[in-house]
Each structure stands twice: as C-alpha cells, then as structure tokens.
Structure 1
Amino acid sequence: MSLVINTNLMAINAARNLSNSFGALGTSVRRLSSGLRIGTAADDAAGMAVREIMRSEIAALHQGARNANDAISLIQTADGALGVIDEKLIRMKELAEQAATGTYNSDQRLIIDSEYQAMASEITRIANATDFNGIYLLNGNLSGDTHDGSAMASTGKMKIHFGTGNDCSEDYYYIQVNTATASALGVGNQSAAGGAGYSISTQSAAQHALDALNEAIVSKDNIRASLGALQNRLQNTITNLEVQAENLQSSESRISDVDVALEMTEFVRQQILTQSATAMLAQANSLPRLAMQLLGG
C-alpha cells in the first residue's frame, strides 16, 4: 500500500468497521434495554408478522375471557333474582295450602288471597326490574329463539362471544332466559282468568292453585338449572381460554423476546470490536504524518 496523504484508505477501512460495530452495538443496547429481539421490521420481517398476529390473538383471548366472566356475572344476577322469586312461590304455595282447608271462612280466604296476589305482583316486579348493565333478564327480552344483532340493540337470545373468530361452534354461544313474571308462571290475577293459579279466594280455587304453583316452581327451577349449566360451561370456557392465551404467549415470547444471555455475549463482542476499531482509526489517522518525515517536516 502506497504512502499517500490525499486518501487514507486505512482510516476509511477502520471507520467503516467502526460504523458497523457501533451500529451492531446500538442494536444490542436496544434489545437489552427493551427486552425484545424484534424491535423493528428490519430485525426479523417474517418474525414480526407472526408476532403481531399472535399478539392480536392473545389480546382477543383475554377479552374473550372477560366477556365470559361478564356473562357469568349476568347469570348470577338472574339466578339471584330467581332465588327471591323462589321464596315468593314457596310463600304462595303455603298460602294456597292454608286457604285449601275448610277451617277458614270466605272473608278470611279473601285476606289470604290478598297476600297471595301481593306475592304474585312482587314476582312480576322483580322479573321486570332485574337487569344487568341495562339488559333486562327475566321479563322475556332474552327468551326469543332467534338472535338478531344487526340493530343498535340486539334482540332475542343473548350471544356471548369469547373466541377470536366468528364460528358458532367455537367462538360463541347463546344465553336464553325464559320469562319469569307471575303471568308467565301462571300464578296470580295477572295470569289467564280462570287458570288454576289465578286466585285462592275459594277452597276449590286454592286446591287447584296448589297444582299450578307446583308447575310454576318447576318452570322456575328449569330456568335456574339452565342458567347454572351455562355458568359451569362458561367457567370451563374461561379455563380453556386462559390456557390458550398462556400457550400462545409462550410461543410469541420465543419469537419476540430477546435471549439476554446470548445478547449480552453479542453486546460484549461488539463493544470490544468498537473499542478496537476506535483505537485503530486513531492510529490510521496518524499514519499520513509519516509523509512529513520524507518531506523533511
């Protein structure tokens, strides 16, 4: 190599190596400080694409678990109200049993019937008033066989969406709650006139009301049993979603997260190369001064 002063090839070469080592050192610092192997698309274009898909799936799974938990809270709200309705039906059956015996006169049966009707009115009030986040649960709004979510407010049975797609066999199912008003249960004077549970003002009516109340209790129990089964199913769904999210998070970590031990080794290597290149650049910059000796400087 010629001794020249216009072009210092050694310094250019050392500067290039310094730039490369310093850039690699900067990459290591970024990875170690962020904990991510993939910080930009340039780090791993294909890996970044896979990672972002996984991140969206993980976020959707976590939200799906929250959706299922909200549905459990809704079911518990409905079940709690049905528990109170259960108490009212039991009291109504007690009153019907009382009115069915012959030791009471007509005036006394009317008094008993007034409490009976008050219990029926309370059942209807509870059914019409029980709501979760503004969604009424027991008044028949969720009893429809067909779900329609195309409008601002959905109608029919409630769709609980927890999966990451839109496949009915995998990503959602429905909560259907039958009406629990007194008229729907067939008790009290809000039910069909002449029905078995309409009144207990006479001994005969009270005796027929016992059968109607048995049917009402069974109908109410069917609603509660259906809700209980759905709650258990949702709890199992949440467990499955959490396992899915955990495994997907593990896969995403292997793609995205930096191996600190390996990256620290690379950091030290690039740090040594940077220091070495800096020292050699200083030496290369001083080499043209040798020409001064030949010029008699």
Structure 2
Amino acid sequence: MSLVINHNLMAMNASRNLSTSYSALAVSTRRLSSGLRVGTAADDAAGLAVRELMRADIKSLQQGIRNANDGISLIQTADGALQIIDEKLIRMKELATQAATGTYNSDQRLIIDSEYQAMASEITRIANATDFNGIYLLNGNLSGENSAHSGAGLASTGPLKVHFGTANDCSEDYYYISIGTATASALGLGHATGAANGKTISTQALAQASLEALQDAIVSKDKIRANLGALQNRLENTVSNLEIQAENIQAAESQISDVDVATEMTEFTRQQILTQAAVSMLSQANSLPRMALSLIGG
C-alpha cells in the first residue's frame, strides 16, 4: 500500500470497523438493559410477529381467568341465597306438619298459615332481590335453554354466558350458566289464590296435601343448587386449565423474546473489546500520514 496523504485508507477501514463494533455494542447494551432479545422488528421479524400473537393470547387468557372467577363468585352468590331459601322451605314444611295434626283448631291453623305465607313471601323477596353486579339470579332471568341466550342488545337475555377463551368457539371458549326460578310461586308454594296444594295450610286437609308440594319444592330447589355446584366445579377446573395454558404460552413467549443474559454478556464483552481496539487503531491510522512529512522534510 502506497504512502499517500490525500486518502487515509487505513483510517477509513478502522472507522468502518469501529462503527460496526459500536453498533453491535449498542444492540447488546439495549438487550441487556431491557432484558429483551427482540426489541424491534429488525432483531427478529418473524419472532416479533409470533411473540405479539402470544402476548395477545396471554392477556386474553388472564382476563378469561378473571371472567371464570367472576362466574364462580356469581354462582356462590346464587347458592348462598338458595341456602337461605332452603331454611325457609324447611320451616314451611315444619309448619305444614304442625297444621296437619288434629290437635289445633281453625284459629290456630290460621295463625300457623300466616307464618307459612310470610315464609313464602320472604322466599319470593330473596329470589327477586338476589343479584350480582346488577344481574338478577333467581327470578327467572337466567333460566331456559342455552339457545335462548342473546347478547345482541345492551342487556343480554337468557342464560348467562361465561367467556374465558381466546376466540369464540363454543366448545373451547365459553359456556352458559342457567339458573332456574326460585320464587315461591315457581316452587308451587304460598300466596293462595285457590285451594291448590302448597298454597295454603289453613285447613288440616290442605296442610296434609301441602306436604307433598313442599317436598317437590325442596327437590326443585336442590336441583338448582346441584346444577350450580356442578357449574362451580367446572369453572374451577377451567381456571386451573387456563392458568396452566397461560403459563406455558408465557414460557414459549419468553424463549422467543427474552435475552439470554450470559450469552449476551459474552457478546457485549467481545464487542466492547473490538470497539476499544478499533478506537486505538483509528488513532494510530490517523497518525500514519505524518510519516510523509519526514520524507518531504528530508
């Protein structure tokens, strides 16, 4: 290579190597400081696309877990109210058994019936008042077949839809909570408008006949509670599955996105040495043209 002064090719080469090493050093610094291997699309375009889809699924699954837990809370609210209704039904059967015996006169049976009717009214009040976040649970609003659900309006109708998946596939992403009506009239009890069994225990015959209606009411209530219990177990299993699924996707996302600190620190050290060496050589290369002065001066 000729000794020239117009073009310092060695300095240009050292400067280019310095720029390359310094850029790589900057990338390693960014990765180590952020903890991310893929910080921009330029780092790994395909990996970035996969990572963002995974992140969307992770967030959706985490919200699905919260949705399922809200569903469990809703079920527990309904079951707690049904437990109180259960106590009222047991008391009503006790009163019917009391009125069915012949040791009470008509006035006493009317007194017994007044408490019976009060219990029926309380059952209806509980059923109509029990709500979760403004959604009434036991008044029949959530009863019916799954096909009766409609979310087209501002307020959904029919069975309650619990959505927990990342898409909208009914077999994977949601199912319904249907809760039967638990008012006294729906259970066939109280508020006499005639002599129907279970409506009143004002006479010995009606009291005796009401015992079977009360038994049926207790069974109907138990079916509602059993269905809710099964749904709660299902939702709890769903939460466990979603947590495992979110954890596994998070692990896969980490493999794509997160930096291996040990490997990247090795690269950082290498680029740091190369950068320092390039700075040193650039300084030396810049001083080489001065040798021409010795020739000119001689």
> Which TM-score band (shorter chain)?
over 0.9
Partner residue in 2 for 1:174: 176
Partner residue in 2 for 1:163: 165
Partner residue in 2 for 1:54: 54
Distance in 2 of aligned mates of 1:171 and 1:78: 23
Instruction: Map Cα deviations across residues 107-152 of structure 1 (whole Å, 9 max, x no partner).
Output: 0000000000000000000000000000000000000321000111
Tell me how large the CA RMSD over aligned residues is.
Answer: 1.0
Distance in 2 of aligned mates of 1:15 and 1:150: 66
Instruction: Map Cα deviations across residues 70-105 of structure 1 (whole Å, 9 max, x no partner).
Output: 000000000000000000000000000000000000
Distance in 1 of aligned mates of 2:53 and 2:236: 26
Where does structure 1 lack aligned partners over 5 or more consecutive residues? none
TM-score, normalization: structure 1? 0.98
Shift of 1:194: 2.9
Distance in 1 of aligned mates of 2:231 and 2:194: 35
Partner residue in 1 for 2:219: 218
Distance in 2 of aligned mates of 1:127 and 1:283: 90
Distance in 2 of aligned mates of 1:144 and 1:6: 91
Distance in 1 of aligned mates of 2:160 and 2:195: 34
For 1:174, the aligned partner's letter is Y
User: Counterpart of 2:175 in 1: which secondary structure?
Assistant: strand
Distance in 2 of aligned mates of 1:228 and 1:193: 36
Instruction: Map Cα deviations across residues 12-40 of structure 1 (whole Å, 9 max, x no partner).
Output: 11111001000000100111111110000
8 Å Cα contact 2:121/2:184 also seen in 1 = yes
User: Counterpart of 1:272 in 2: which secondary structure?
Assistant: helix
8 Å Cα contact 2:96/2:211 also seen in 1 = yes
Does residue 110 (structure 1) correspond to residue 110 (structure 2)? The answer is yes
Distance in 2 of aligned mates of 1:193 and 1:32: 81
Distance in 2 of aligned mates of 1:91 and 1:36: 65
Distance in 1 of aligned mates of 2:6 and 2:96: 115
Shift of 1:250: 0.8
Partner residue in 2 for 1:8: 8
Where does structure 2 lack aligned partners over 5 or more consecutive residues? none
For 1:27, the aligned partner's letter is V
Which runs of structure 2 are paired with 1:1-297 in the superposition (5 Å)?
1-145=1-145, 146-189=148-191, 193-296=194-297
For 1:51, the aligned partner's letter is R
Shift of 1:193: 3.2
Size of the aligned set, in residue pairs, is 296
User: Counterpart of 1:168 in 2: which secondary structure?
Assistant: coil
TM-score, normalization: structure 2? 0.98
8 Å Cα contact 2:195/2:206 also seen in 1 = no
